């Protein structure tokens, strides 16, 4: 299974950025305190970014947070079970958000 660290590394590499360059651009654009060491830990699955940082990474890479977290694969599976209806990306993202809401609600009840 693909990890968040793998996804960050893939997106960074696709843009031809080093870890240092990604940190510099994130800091300049969002005023974060990200450094190469932190990005290396994420990419090596030694830690994960906080939710707000993951949101900023998604914005930086122009990806949805669902896509960054590799949730779209699950969305495709959900859509495939809706009698052949065609779904837009926005509708699929809405379905995924609802699914995550239901999972969170279930955890709170446990």
Residue 101 clears pLDDT 60, i.e. is over it: yes
Dump the DSSP string for 20-50: HHHHHHHHHHH-----HHHHHHHHTTS----
Tokens in use for 35?
A: 């450094």
Q: Is the pTM of this model over 0.75?
A: no
Residue 1 clears pLDDT 90, i.e. is over it: no
Domain residue ranges of the chain, discontinuous segments joined by +: 4-63, 72-109
**Residue 109: predicted pLDDT:** 72
pLDDT tens, residue by residue, 50-97: 999 999 999 999 988 888 887 655 444 554 455 556 777 788 778 888
The mean of the pLDDT values for the chain is 83
Which of the following CATH numbers is that of domain 4-63: 1.10.10.10, 3.30.1490.20, 3.40.50.970, 1.10.260.40?
A: 1.10.260.40
């Amino acid at each position: 299974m693909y990890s968040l660290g793998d996804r960050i590394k893939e997106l960074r590499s696709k843009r031809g950025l080093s870890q240092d360059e990604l940190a510099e651009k994130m800091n300049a654009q969002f005023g974060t305190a990200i450094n190469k060491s932190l990005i290396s830990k994420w990419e090596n699955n030694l830690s994960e970014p906080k939710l707000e940082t993951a949101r900023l990474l998604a914005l930086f890479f122009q990806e949805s947070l669902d896509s960054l977290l590799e949730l779209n694969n699950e969305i495709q599976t959900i859509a495939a079970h809706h009698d052949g209806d065609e779904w837009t990306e926005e509708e699929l993202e809405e379905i995924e958000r609802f699914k995550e809401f239901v999972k969170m609600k279930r955890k709170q009840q446990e």
